[in-house]
Amino acid sequence: MQRVVPVVVLALAVVATNVAVLSADTTRVKVTLFYEHLCPDSIRWVSNQLAPNYDALRNVMDIEFIPFGKSRSINGGESFECQHGPLECEGNMAQSCILNFLPEQDRQVSYVSCQMDFNADPRGWECAFRSGVNLVNAQQCAEGPLGVQLQLEAERRTRQIPLTFVPTIVFNDQFDQSLTDRAFTDFFGVMCELTNNGAVGC
């Protein structure tokens, strides 16, 4: 028994060292999603790529939502034109406002996963209620100057990338068409690669 103990201790030390190395090598990735409130491809991506993989990725990912896409402002925000019509403009602004009042990532993802669903209320307030956001503040935002400011900022951010398709997924603030294309159908695989297999299940 006296000879076995050092071997066991050595084995435990090796395991501990490997775990420490794995933790040190794990990279946290910033993900920015450029999307549209009523875009079918945006809805499919959130439903099929983000929502089912979020629990495995939440500890290695910081995600940012930019609901604007191919929309455009008119006269500095007097109005907006959106790819899927006026209801999408309302929804983009509502999402900007609701996300603004949901600082925690888990709550933001929960809200977006709820809203970006083909069965969701297109005006966006049912999922807002479920998120626990202050509905009075969110609605005042969506109907006032703060909502306009948030959408103008979303437009500014969107214009910084060569967006030709919605949704577009950007990693670590660096647009890479190859990564975007791969992430559209294999978001989890791309995240495993970028985090050095640091996510659960990689």
**Which domains are assigned to the chain?**
29-195 (3.40.30.10)
**pLDDT at residue 22 tops 50:** no
Q: What percent of the chain has pLDDT over 90?
A: 84
pLDDT of 9 strictly over 90: no
What confidence score (pLDDT) does residue 122 get? 87
Q: At residue 23, what is the residue type?
A: S
pLDDT category at 26 given cuts 50, 70, 90 is low
Q: Tell me the CA distances in angstroms from 85 to 70, 94, 169, 179, one per residue in order.
A: 11, 15, 23, 29
Q: What integer is the mean pLDDT of 28-43?
A: 98
| CB burial of residue 166 (10 Å; 0-12, 13-18, 19+) | buried
Over residues 77-101, the mean pLDDT reads: 96
- Residue 24 pLDDT greater than 60, yes or no: no
Q: How many CB atoms lie within 10 A of CB 160?
A: 11
Peptide bond into 103 cis (omega under 30): no
Reported as a single tens digit per residue, the pLDDT across 40-82 is: 999 999 999 999 999 999 999 999 999 999 999 999 999 999 9
